[in-house]
Amino acid sequence: MICLTLMESSIEANLEVLENNRPYIDMVELRLDMLIDPLMIPPDTVKLKFGIPAIISFRKKVDGGKYEGNEDQRRLVLYTWSKYGFDFVDLELGTFFPEIEKSVLESGKKIIRSYHNFDMVPDNLEDIIRELSSRPGEIAKVAVYPYTSKDALKLFEVYDKVKDIKDKIILGMGEFGLPSRILYKKLGSMLSFCSSQEKSGAPGHISPLDMKNLYRVDKINSLTAVYGIIGNPVMHSKSPQLHNTAYEKARIDAVYIPFIVDNIDCFLKLAKLLVIDGFSVTVPHKVDIMDYLDEKSPELDTILSCNTVVLKGGLLKGFNTDSAGFLKPLLSLVDVSKINNCAVIGAGGAARAVISALKSIGKDVSIFNRSELRAVKLAAETGSRYYPVTRLDLLDGYDLIVQTTTVGMAPNEAETPVQGYKFRRGQIAYDIIYTPLKTKFLKDAESEGAVIIGGMEMLTTQGKEQFEIFTNRPFPSEEQKENF
Ligand code: ATR
């Protein structure tokens, strides 16, 4: 079930949020601690207006809520509200309100026994979950905050250990916890929470619309194939839209999830736990992932950077679809025979794919990069020249300038790696960033009369090929682009 957390200070405002999201959700959690004066509101009318199953909770500040008053007042509010047919009453571990527990259970409703930890994933998480579920008729709920890939692995390892517990909700907060919210059903949780776009109920909540229509979380089951993208940052990625929409069009039972990753070893353990079938790779893991591959598609031997990994029988096979993705818009938009020499800004994994693509059409390349060491190595490996990115005076000599760094990507839209460079008329400026669609690098180029190419078509082309590698099926249709 998809549960919308209602966080507004009045019932009217909460009802408005509910109505805006009703098509996407199955139930609500009403956060009494957020209401201005919950004892002045008639709970029976509220329950009626909700019209769907509802949880009531009254969170103290230590549990991530707003309430800082005394326990007697909290007990009174919860007691009053719990009398009016709400389906679930959330009581935290350590909260002892026997009269509420008795009346809730006698009326056939349920207690959710919860534990929140905003600081970490505790080592004794399994014990905590067992304690939460030790009383008959109570549903165990934990919300913990993983801050690293190692924490995320710790959280995901617990699902298997407590699979004997039927009634449970185990969720991770923040970006590292996001996959637990999307895969809740596959992982055995009773529900997953989400918040309206305007106000987030907990860090990492996804909007109800995305829960329902993008990730289709309520349709994910034990048979659903799991794919994803690893990166850091990764939440800006449009790949989930591209792949999830394509799965739906092609009627493939699969989901594609963003995984923020700060440690590839931990992610690969997680991938095996979750039985992930494949994943895309983005900044900054495209080169490092190469060391983990058991098998390589031939193009990797020249590109030495990988953006696509298929996992089969515990083995990892790497591919690169960036290179072809980069070339397609270039070949269709400009006459490449007129390009004599190319400048590539950056020396990371994306730059490798771009250089390889340019070399494959016989072009001469110079690398302009911030740090010398990496660029000199790449220049030697690819037969290119290297210059510091500060040598803006040299850029006029290039017909094509390709921007492959993360500089200028949202939210740092005011930045460009070639600050102060005046593009020349007719020069071609190609930025592989697609958020924003037009970076400062491209805007500067356009204002000087240069030809500009943004990163969206490269994303679509490389994603389409990736889809075919992952699923062994043709990409459903060109209309895909309309979904961005
Ligand atoms: P990817 O694998 O996706 O290409 P990466 O390997 O992290 O990502 O490479 C990022 C590129 O962006 C590098 O060339 C990096 O320059 P350094 O080699 O000097 O680190 C470049 N880059 C990142 N931030 C930058 C900044 N603020 N200014 C200039 N270049 C930057």
- R_g (Cα) of the chain, nearest Å: 26
**Protein residue whose Cα sits closest to atom 22 of ligand 1:** 405
Give this prediction's pTM. Answer: 0.90
Strand, helix or coil for residue 88: strand
Under DSSP, the state recorded for 18 is: H
Cα 297 to Cα 318: distance, rounded to the nearest angstrom: 6
Dihedral angle sign, alpha carbons of residues 316, 320, 325, 328? negative
Q: What pLDDT score was predicted for residue 198?
A: 63
Ligand 1 probe mutation, 307, 384, 405, 462, most atoms within 8 A of CB: 405
Cα 406 to Cα 181: distance, rounded to the nearest angstrom: 28
Cα 192 to Cα 205: distance, rounded to the nearest angstrom: 9
- 415 CA closest ligand 1 atom index: 27
Closest CA to 456 of 480, 424, 422: 480
CB 450 within 8 A of CB 429: yes
Ligand 1 probe mutation, 290, 370, 462, most atoms within 8 A of CB: 370
Closest CA to 346 of 369, 362, 330: 369
Strand, helix or coil for residue 378: helix
Under DSSP, the state recorded for 280 is: E
pLDDT in tens, 194-252: 998 666 666 677 899 999 999 999 999 999 999 999 999 999 899 999 999 999 999 99
| Matching residue, tokens 């389409």 | 464
Cα 264 to Cα 256: distance, rounded to the nearest angstrom: 18
Cα 243 to Cα 466: distance, rounded to the nearest angstrom: 9
- 370 CA closest ligand 1 atom index: 19
CA distances from 303 to 80, 308, 323 (A): 66, 13, 8
Cα 255 to Cα 240: distance, rounded to the nearest angstrom: 8
CB 6 within 8 A of CB 52: no
Closest CA to 167 of 143, 145, 135, 193: 135
Q: Which residues, listed in sequence order, are joined to residue 141 by a DSSP beta bridge? A: 114, 169
**Protein residue whose Cα sits closest to atom 30 of ligand 1:** 370
How remote is the CA of residue 210 from the centroid of ligand 1, in Å? Answer: 31
Q: Which residues, listed in sequence order, are joined to residue 110 by a DSSP beta bridge? A: 88
Under DSSP, the state recorded for 394 is: G
Q: What pLDDT score was predicted for residue 302?
A: 86
Q: Which amino acid is at 117?
A: N
Listed as ranges, residues in the chain with pLDDT below 50 are 480-481, 484
pLDDT in tens, 50-63: 999 999 999 999 89
- Between strands 364-369 and 385-388, the pairing is parallel
How remote is the CA of residue 349 from the centroid of ligand 1, in Å? Answer: 9
**Which string of DSSP letters, residue by residue, matches 129-145?**
HHHHT-STTEEEEEEE-
Cα 364 to Cα 138: distance, rounded to the nearest angstrom: 68
CA distances from 223 to 253, 268, 310 (A): 8, 20, 18
CB 132 within 8 A of CB 165: no
Q: What pLDDT score was predicted for residue 480?
A: 46
- 231 CA closest ligand 1 atom index: 3
Report residues whose beta carbon is within 6 angstroms of any ligand 1 atom: 282-284, 286-287, 346-351, 369-371, 374, 404-407, 417
Residues near 166 by beta carbon (within 8 Å), at least 6 away in sequence: none
Q: Which two tokens stand for residue 33?
A: 């601690």
Cα 253 to Cα 221: distance, rounded to the nearest angstrom: 9
CB burial class (10 A; 0-12, 13-18, 19+) of residue 89?
buried
Q: What pLDDT score was predicted for residue 57?
A: 97
CA distances from 81 to 11, 54, 114 (A): 13, 12, 18
CB crowding 370-407: b at 16 or more within 10 Å, else e: eeeebbeebbeebebebbebeeeeebeebbbbbbbbbb
Cα 125 to Cα 291: distance, rounded to the nearest angstrom: 33
Q: Which two tokens stand for residue 279?
A: 């994943």
Tell me phi and psi for residue 220, to 5 degrees: -75, 130
Closest CA to 426 of 404, 401, 389: 401
CB 452 within 8 A of CB 442: yes
Domains of the chain from N-terminus onward: 2-222 (3.20.20.70), 239-320+461-483 (3.40.50.10860), 332-453 (3.40.50.720)
pLDDT in tens, 338-349: 999 999 999 999
CB 159 within 8 A of CB 187: yes
Q: Which residues are catalytic?
A: 116, 141, 286, 322
Q: What pLDDT score was predicted for residue 165?
A: 97
Residue 200 CB neighbours (<10 A): 15
How remote is the CA of residue 417 from the centroid of ligand 1, in Å? Answer: 10
- 347 CA closest ligand 1 atom index: 14
CA distances from 218 to 197, 276, 443 (A): 19, 18, 42
